[in-house]
Structure formats: structure tokens, C-alpha cells
Structure 1
Amino acid sequence: MNQIMRTNPTTMPKPVGNYTHITKIPRNAELFVLSGQIGTGMTGHLPETFNEQMHNTFQNIKLALQSENLDATNIIKVNVWATELIDWHYFYKEWDDFFEKEYPAMTIGYIAALGLPEIKIEIEIWAANP
């Protein structure tokens, strides 16, 4: 096996969203861990709305991956931390545009606060290059 494998075992319930229960990376793959990405734009401005922050966060993830010659297919695990309710329609539009059809393992948590009071969403990425 020289590629990232994603599976949803038939012996357990299907995922409740667009993610995969198990993501397996090949032995000796290079592992990349991104710090939690937030919705700051290139000018350093953090938008006020949750959805604008989410959009920028996905763009920042894309830029970080590109800096290492990686893309969404290399992502093996996503942790999403939000301080307010997620607009699921918008989230899955961004998510599906980003991942297309190969979904990584994912955890979502609602928390009281992030590193700065104005941050509404932070997404942590684990990626591998087989």
C-alpha cells in the first residue's frame, strides 16, 4: 500500500456527515501537522462573520498545503473547533468544494473560546505524503 486509504466499515453505522471513519496512511509516509488555521485574510484582517472566517480558513489551509506541494487528497485528519453554531449548508459547500469526494477523518467540537475573542472557527489539519 503506497497510498492513503479511506474506509467506512460495513460493521458499523455510516458517517453522519461527509467524513470517513478510518483513514490509513502507508508505512514510511511523511507526516505534516498544521497549526490550527483561522480566517485571517492575507492583509491580516479577520472578518466578523462566521462564514467569512470559515471561507478564509479553508483558503489558508489550501495555501499551507500548497507550500509543501500537498493538496486535499493528502489530508488524513481534520479537527474543527467552533465558538458558535455552524451553518451546515455553508460548511458542506466549502467542505465539498475543498475535498470533492475523498473525505478525511474528522472531529467537530463546539467550545467557549479560541485563542483570541474574535476568532469563531479554527481548523487543525493532519496530512501525509505517501
Structure 2
Amino acid sequence: MHNPLPLSLLLTLLLSLAPLASAQFGFFEQMFGGGGGGQQQHQHQQQAHNVPSDSAIYRSNFDRMHCDNYLCPDTLACVHFPHHCPCPWPAHEDKFELAGEAGGSRICVSRGGFKPGEAARKVELARKGLL
């Protein structure tokens, strides 16, 4: 015959497992939107992370920048000429300089799905008016 657990040990064991059970059910409640309160809190947190749909933040950053030469409007880089502006996403875009007045300008073309050199070929066709 085996001895039953003393009552104090049993209570200690149950109390130590309570936080685990609460954490487990809290996880499922959060995952599946149970209880409603967690869902409202999640929506509030999500709204706190969205940026406004106007350009006030961008204009504020642009106005704070100091540049003696040319301030690139899309990257806020300070360069000597507009065609020296870097592309905002250089790992995913190819930069092409365009000739013109006042040092020219540049365009950034997405590499997405193109074969190597394909973006340059399309830019050249566009320059010739063939695209």
C-alpha cells in the first residue's frame, strides 16, 4: 500500500502548477481571440503602430535636414548633384543616371523577377522611345 501525498505537499504542487495553466490558456486565448479583452488590446496596439496617412512625418524630417548641396527627396541623402542620390532600396533596385540640365537625375528600377541586365535593357528601350 502506498502513502497518499501530505496535504501541504499537494497544495504546494497545485499552486506551483497554476501559473503554468494560466499561461497556457492565456496563450490560446490570445491566439484565437477568446475573451474579447485581449482582442481589443491587440487592436489598440496595432493602431498605435500604424503611421498616419499624411506626409507630416516625412516633411518634418525633411525640414530638419541640413544640406549645402542637394537633398535627395526620397532618401534624404545630401549629395552634390541629383543624379548622385542613392536608391532607397539598393539591394532590390538598379540605379540609372539620366542626362539633363543641372547635372541630370536618376531613376531606380526594381530588379524583381528580372534576369540580370533586364532592367538596364528596358531603361535603354525607354530612352529610345521603343517601350
TM-score (norm: length of structure 2):
0.18
Structure exhibiting the larger radius of gyration computed from Cα positions: 2
Work out which structure has the larger RCO, using CA pairs closer than 8 Å and 6 or more positions apart in sequence: 1
Q: Which of the pair is proportionally richer in strand?
A: 1
TM-score (norm: length of structure 1):
0.19
